[in-house]
């Protein structure tokens, strides 16, 4: 049995009289011990999936589908049961480390509070956290605890947050856009950090990112998202080296080292999605079928692809 | 620390500037001062002054000297002997008269400030947590009217209801707590509404921050998220507004004191204006401005205490 | 409680994760008509200004006609809101009082807006010693309670329409100057200004054509809300007997006269106050609405 199983997850946000379809009918499984990457451009719905797992989305969001974690459906848990899972069994490493730390509270308190309400000895927990901080390239962790977040650099903040998320050695770590907004140096540091986390803790990780370098470096399998649905899913090296879906191909050739060839056009409106393939308007090789029928996701060479023409490629 | 020294310096500068401003303001009417002194002290209000009497007074009070010299002497007296002028009407030192009236104003403004802070902050938090429910809407409409109704009108309405119709409290009087209720209520209503508005907005803004979501992801219970993570951040703009409200309270106190015959500096100011007792007017303005600046200085200290980014910035 | 926090998230999330440009049109009028409270306030304001403008024609009585035998009458069919201590019709006086309050308030706000804009522009655009000087003056003016200062000025100058406008404008301008200065500082750095500078346009042209139009929105918002505040100040000063001359019909002065008869004729206290509240509420709603429309980012949400 997989550690995490997502079945038919859809998320809609009501916006006035319409609804914005952020995620539509996404299903995938994450195996114990693997690092699973969700990649795609901003607004593709990947971060919404991460937040939906821990039920951190606003109440106004309409969520359907099932999320099975260790045999439990996370969507049918009581708030108190959910709290026991949050931070302990599943933790979230939020995007934007600067915003995720409370500016008026000392770092120490923000680390310590993870152990509150957990029937864990706080001192014992702090000792573990301090050790962890050292492992994650943070020097002099005791002093860091007496400082406030604004006194740290961006990279340090991210490590601090990683440390908080790993306090309980969670079964599943959801890392949401860890390299977003970091300068190139800190980005390289983030790759090191995640390699380290993977090696030292060997736990399962769901990595949400638009950073293909990071994904290639760390992920075992990758799902590519476009307009709220998965368009391609396969082993990381296969997706990134021999992509099948035209969108994945476009994404890769838009990388700076591949010549920065931009994808033409824009993502479709998420209020009124096109009838056919969502990528149709921007696709270089669309056919008549593509504008009429929405393609189903189908098996292809050991992976999954959502395209009418996958057999030709 | 450096910040506070700068603030204290600015405060001293402002007091000086206000002294200068009021001093020159009081002396803009050419030849007026001598006539005023004469009418009030020597010859009585009905008679008109003779040229001889006027020039006598002018030379005695150095009124023929240029204004800046007169101001220099005024400042010298004020700094060396605490003498900021003599009231025409009472024929006593202004400073002495102010000390007699100060306690009443401090009492009234202090009580109103306490009400504004306590009621405003708690109602604001409540309103934010009930966002868009009926109680929130009702509170918001009440605040809209609260900030729009003239304070003196509220005072009159309160008198009509509680003193004249229900005969619960006396209209005027000074000395015990019962007398304080109506004036403080009338004076604070505007500020309660203003503080509540800011608290609500700030609380909602804070609740949308990423560190609140992260705190949820850590598995903290709701009450801890609000009390620890939201409240302190949300209070930052509120503290500043409370400081500014002191200005409204002191301004409003002038009218409220007059209506309730409250023996404070405000009613003294109005009486002095009607009687054209200019040194007294100047003294009252100075006293009120100094109080306002002091309160805001205290607010600044409080603010630096709340926000580590300023303390260690 | 939980879902309040969630709704706050929702606002952020919508901005970040989902494209919602198609939901909200950007045109002013479209947004205006989406706000029912604003429409209501606008209609009420038009109605009220109309009443004030045509007060002499619609007033049932001459607002200044004394009829001592009809003094202190309760509201009735003849006198809808009753009469005052000189037997003058209260409704007619309130209507004519609207003229006084609105026109003085508009005048004060206009003077403050123009002065504040000019000085704020000068400070922000020229910087250096000009900025230093103007900024210190602004700081001083903003650092003590306005009503008190206005009181002191009126105390020296004496009652009168011109004096009142002068006193209130002296108190008000600094707010506008501060906001304008901040606006100019940020706009000055933008490309279209830089390109105008490099193409050799003179300062006045740049300020008039590029800076003021782009900086004025928050000042308009401020001015709208301020009209309400100024009306309150006028009423306060008149109530204390140091605002307008006794023969000018004004709401604050009416309240002051009415309060002598609170016991027997409380309506003389109630109605003028209601009129003040009503007008100030209208301008509060308008101001808030204008802010949402003209300055949609003022909530402070970052979009990235």
Average pLDDT over residues C235-248: 86
The answer to whether residue C22 scores a pLDDT higher than 50 is no
- pLDDT at residue number A217: 85
The answer to whether residue C113 scores a pLDDT higher than 90 is yes
- Whether residue B72 sits in one domain with residue B175: no
Q: What residues of A are in contact with residue B217 (Cβ under 8 Å)?
A: 54, 56, 86-87, 91-92, 94
- Nearest-angstrom CA–CA distance, C8 and B226: 13
Put simply, whether B150 touches C (Cβ < 8 Å) is yes
Model confidence band, residue C262 (pLDDT cutoffs 50, 70, 90): confident
Model confidence band, residue C18 (pLDDT cutoffs 50, 70, 90): very low
- pLDDT at residue number C301: 27
- Nearest-angstrom CA–CA distance, B291 and C144: 10
C35 burial via Cβ count (<10 Å: 0-12, 13-18, 19+): middle
Which helix (H) or strand (E) segment holds residue A4: the answer is strand A4-15
Which helix (H) or strand (E) segment holds residue A64: the answer is strand A62-69
Please tell me the distance in Å from C194's CA to the nearest CA on chain B: 32
- Asked whether C34 and C42 are in contact (CB, 8 A), the reply is no
On whether residue B160 sits in a domain, the answer given is yes
- Asked whether C276 and C94 are in contact (CB, 8 A), the reply is no
What percent of chain C lies above the pLDDT cut of 90? 21
Q: Which domains does chain C have, with CATH numbers?
A: 37-293 (1.10.3720.10)
Chains that touch C (3 or more CB pairs under 8 A): A, B
- Whether residue B168 sits in one domain with residue B67: no
Model confidence band, residue C26 (pLDDT cutoffs 50, 70, 90): very low
On whether residue B1 sits in a domain, the answer given is no
Nearest to A245 by CA among A234, A258, A255, A237: A234
- Whether residue B62 sits in one domain with residue B176: no
Show which of residues 154-183 on chain B sit within 8 Å of chain C, judged by CB atoms: 156-157, 159-160, 164
Is the pTM higher than 0.80?
A: yes
- pLDDT at residue number C196: 82
Nearest to A205 by CA among A11, A53, A26, A24: A53
Nearest to A211 by CA among A175, A161, A164, A159: A175
SS3 annotation, C77-139: CCCCCCECCCCCEHHHHHHHHHHHHHHHHHHHHHHHHHHHHHHHHHHHHHCHHHHHHHHHHHH
- pLDDT at residue number B162: 87
Mutate to test the interface with C, among B18, B153, B244 (most CBs of C within 10 A): B153
On whether residue B262 sits in a domain, the answer given is yes
- Whether residue B148 sits in one domain with residue B78: no
On whether residue B290 sits in a domain, the answer given is yes
- pLDDT at residue number C34: 66
Put simply, whether B60 touches C (Cβ < 8 Å) is no
- Asked whether B176 and C275 are in contact (CB, 8 A), the reply is no
Nearest to C256 by CA among B188, B251, B150: B150
Question: Cβ separation of A181 and C304 shorter than 8 Å?
Answer: yes
Residue-wise pLDDT for B4-57, tens only, equals: 788 888 888 888 888 888 888 777 765 466 666 666 665 555 566 677 777 776
Instruction: List all residues 6 or more positions away from A99 whose beta carbon is below 8 Å from its beta carbon.
Output: B209, B210, B211
- pLDDT at residue number A166: 84
What are A222's strand-pairing partners?
Answer: A37, A234
Comparing A37 with B85, which gets the higher pLDDT?
A37
- Whether residue B71 sits in one domain with residue B37: yes
Residue-wise pLDDT for B145-194, tens only, equals: 888 898 889 999 998 888 888 877 777 777 788 889 899 999 999 999 99
Q: Which domains does chain A have, with CATH numbers?
A: 2-89+171-260 (3.40.50.300), 98-167 (no CATH)
- Whether residue B261 sits in one domain with residue B112: yes
Residue-wise pLDDT for C137-194, tens only, equals: 898 888 778 888 888 888 888 888 999 999 999 989 999 999 999 889 888 888 888 8
Name the phi and psi angles at A278, rounded to 5.
Answer: -65, -25
Q: Which residue has the tokens 């709704």?
A: C7
- Asked whether A12 and A61 are in contact (CB, 8 A), the reply is yes
Question: Cβ separation of B228 and A86 shorter than 8 Å?
Answer: no
The answer to whether residue C25 scores a pLDDT higher than 50 is no
Domain holding B189, by residue range, is 99-306
Show which of residues 99-158 on chain C sit within 8 Å of chain B, judged by CB atoms: 136, 139-140, 143-149, 151-156
Put simply, whether A60 touches C (Cβ < 8 Å) is yes
On whether residue B10 sits in a domain, the answer given is no
- Whether residue B125 sits in one domain with residue B219: yes
- Whether residue B221 sits in one domain with residue B284: yes
Instruction: List all residues 6 or more positions away from B24 whose beta carbon is below 8 Å from its beta carbon.
Output: B67, B71
On whether residue B144 sits in a domain, the answer given is yes
Q: From the list A59, A270, A271, which residue is nearest C3 (CB)?
A: A59
Cα B281 → chain centroid = 16
Residues in chain A where the model's pLDDT stays below 70: 1, 137, 181, 202, 310-313
CATH number for B114: 1.10.3720.10
On whether residue B312 sits in a domain, the answer given is no
- Whether residue B69 sits in one domain with residue B130: no
Q: What residues of C are in contact with residue A60 (Cβ under 8 Å)?
A: 3, 6-7, 10
Chains that touch A (3 or more CB pairs under 8 A): B, C
- Whether residue B66 sits in one domain with residue B120: no
- Asked whether B185 and B229 are in contact (CB, 8 A), the reply is no
Lookup: tokens for A109: 């308190």
Mean pLDDT value across chain B: 85
- pLDDT at residue number C194: 81
What are B110's strand-pairing partners?
Answer: none
**How many structural domains comprise chain B?**
2
- Predicted ipTM beyond 0.95: no
Domain-ending residue, one of B83, B117, B136: B83
What residue of C is the nearest CA neighbor of A23?
Answer: C18
The answer to whether residue C224 scores a pLDDT higher than 70 is yes
- Asked whether B308 and A103 are in contact (CB, 8 A), the reply is yes
- Asked whether B158 and C269 are in contact (CB, 8 A), the reply is no
Residue-wise pLDDT for B218-234, tens only, equals: 888 888 899 899 998 99
Considering only CB atoms, which residues of chain B are within 8 Å of chain A?
Answer: 209-211, 213-221, 224, 228-229, 232-233, 236, 306-309, 312-313
What residue of C is the nearest CA neighbor of A58?
Answer: C6
- Whether residue B154 sits in one domain with residue B118: yes
Put simply, whether A147 touches C (Cβ < 8 Å) is no
Model confidence band, residue C212 (pLDDT cutoffs 50, 70, 90): confident
Please tell me the distance in Å from C11's CA to the nearest CA on chain A: 9
The answer to whether residue B216 scores a pLDDT higher than 70 is yes
The answer to whether residue B265 scores a pLDDT higher than 70 is yes
Instruction: List all residues 6 or more positions away from A72 whose beta carbon is below 8 Å from its beta carbon.
Output: none
Model confidence band, residue C15 (pLDDT cutoffs 50, 70, 90): very low
On whether residue B54 sits in a domain, the answer given is yes
How many residues are recorded in chain B? 313
């Amino acid at each position: 049995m997989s550690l995490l199983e997502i079945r038919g997850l859809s998320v809609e946000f009501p916006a006035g009289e319409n609804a914005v379809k952020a995620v539509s009918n996404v299903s995938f499984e994450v195996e114990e011990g693997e690092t699973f990457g969700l990649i795609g451009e901003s607004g593709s719905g990947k971060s919404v999936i991460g937040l939906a797992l821990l039920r951190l989305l606003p109440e106004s969001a309409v969520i359907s589908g099932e999320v099975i974690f260790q045999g439990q459906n996370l969507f049918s848990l009581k708030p108190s049961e959910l709290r026991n899972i949050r931070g302990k069994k599943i933790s979230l490493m939020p995007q934007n480390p600067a915003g995720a730390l409370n500016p008026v509270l000392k770092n120490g308190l923000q680390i310590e509070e993870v152990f509150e309400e957990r029937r864990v000895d706080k001192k014992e927990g702090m000792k573990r956290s301090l050790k962890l901080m050292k492992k994650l390239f943070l020097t002099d962790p005791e002093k860091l605890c007496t400082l406030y977040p604004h006194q740290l650099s961006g990279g340090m903040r991210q490590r601090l947050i990683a440390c908080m998320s790993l306090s309980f050695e969670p079964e599943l770590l959801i890392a949401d856009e860890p390299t977003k907004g970091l300068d190139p140096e800190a980005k390289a540091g983030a790759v090191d950090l995640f390699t380290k986390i993977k090696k030292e803790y060997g736990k399962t990780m769901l990595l949400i990112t638009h950073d293909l370098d990071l994904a290639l470096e760390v992920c075992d399998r990758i799902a590519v998202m476009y307009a709220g649905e998965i368009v391609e899913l396969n082993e990381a090296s296969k997706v990134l080296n021999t992509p099948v879906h035209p969108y994945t191909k476009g994404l890769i050739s838009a990388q700076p080292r591949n010549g920065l060839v931009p994808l033409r056009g824009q993502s479709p409106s998420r209020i009124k999605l096109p009838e056919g393939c969502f990528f149709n308007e921007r696709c270089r090789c669309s056919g008549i079928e593509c504008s009429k029928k929405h393609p189903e996701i189908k098996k292809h060479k050991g992976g999954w692809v959502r395209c009418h023409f996958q057999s030709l490629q | 620390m450096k910040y506070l020294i700068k603030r204290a310096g600015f405060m001293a500068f402002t007091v000086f500037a206000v002294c200068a401003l009021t001093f020159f303001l009081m002396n803009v009417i050419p030849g007026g001062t001598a006539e005023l002194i004469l009418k009030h002290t020597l010859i009585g209000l009905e008679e008109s002054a003779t040229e001889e009497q006027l020039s006598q007074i002018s030379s005695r009070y150095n009124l023929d000297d240029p204004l800046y010299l007169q101001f220099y002497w005024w400042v010298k007296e004020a700094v060396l002997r605490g003498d900021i002028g003599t009231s025409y009407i009472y024929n006593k030192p202004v400073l002495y008269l102010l000390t007699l009236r100060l306690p009443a104003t401090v009492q009234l403004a202090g009580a109103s400030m306490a009400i504004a802070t306590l009621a405003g902050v708690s109602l604001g938090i409540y309103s934010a947590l009930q966002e868009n429910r009926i109680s929130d809407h009702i509170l918001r409409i009440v605040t809209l009217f609260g900030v729009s109704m003239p304070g003196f009108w509220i005072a009159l309405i309160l008198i009509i209801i509680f003193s004249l119709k229900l005969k619960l409290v006396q209209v005027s009087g000074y000395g015990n707590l019962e007398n304080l209720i109506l004036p403080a209520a009338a004076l604070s209503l505007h500020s309660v509404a203003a503080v509540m508005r800011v608290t609500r907005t700030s609380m909602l803004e804070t609740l949308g921050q990423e560190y609140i979501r992260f705190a949820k992801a850590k598995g903290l219970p709701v009450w801890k998220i609000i009390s620890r993570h939201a409240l302190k951040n949300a209070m930052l703009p509120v503290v500043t507004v409370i400081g500014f409200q002191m200005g409204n309270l002191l301004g409003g106190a002038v009218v409220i004191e007059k209506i309730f015959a409250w023996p404070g500096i405000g009613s003294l100011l109005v009486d002095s204006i009607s009687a054209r007792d200019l040194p007294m007017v100047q003294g009252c303005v100075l006293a009120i401005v100094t109080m306002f600046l002091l309160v805001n200085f205290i607010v600044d200290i409080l603010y630096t205490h709340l926000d580590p980014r300023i303390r260690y910035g | 409680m939980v879902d309040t926090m969630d709704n706050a998230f929702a606002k952020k999330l919508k901005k970040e994760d989902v494209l919602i440009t198609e939901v909200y049109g950007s045109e002013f009028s479209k947004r205006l008509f989406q706000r029912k409270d604003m429409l209501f306030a606008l209609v009420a304001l038009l109605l009220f200004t109309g009443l004030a403008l045509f007060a002499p024609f619609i007033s049932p009585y001459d607002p200044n006609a004394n009829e001592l035998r009809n003094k202190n009458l309760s509201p009735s069919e003849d006198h809808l809101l009753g009469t005052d201590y000189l037997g003058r019709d209260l409704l007619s006086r309130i209507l004519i009082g609207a003229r006084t309050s609105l026109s003085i308030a508009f005048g004060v706000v206009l003077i403050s807006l123009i002065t504040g804009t000019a000085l704020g522009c000068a400070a922000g655009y020229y910087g250096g010693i000009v900025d230093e000087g103007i900024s210190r003056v602004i700081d001083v003016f903003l650092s003590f309670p306005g009503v008190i200062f206005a009181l002191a000025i009126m105390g020296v100058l004496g009652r009168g329409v011109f004096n009142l406008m002068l006193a209130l404008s002296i108190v008000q301008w600094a707010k506008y100057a501060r906001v304008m200065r901040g606006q100019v500082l940020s706009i000055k750095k933008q490309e279209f200004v830089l390109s105008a500078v490099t193409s050799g346009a003179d300062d006045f042209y740049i300020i008039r054509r590029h800076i003021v139009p782009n900086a004025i929105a928050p000042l308009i918002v401020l001015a709208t809300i301020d009209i309400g505040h100024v009306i309150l100040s006028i009423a306060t000063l008149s109530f204390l007997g140091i605002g307008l001359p006794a023969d000018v019909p004004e709401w604050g002065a009416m309240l002051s006269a009415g309060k002598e008869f609170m016991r027997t004729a409380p309506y003389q206290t109630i109605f003028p106050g209601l009129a003040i509240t009503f007008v100030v509420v209208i301008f509060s709603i308008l101001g808030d609405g204008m802010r949402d429309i003209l300055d949609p980012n003022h909530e402070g949400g970052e979009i990235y």
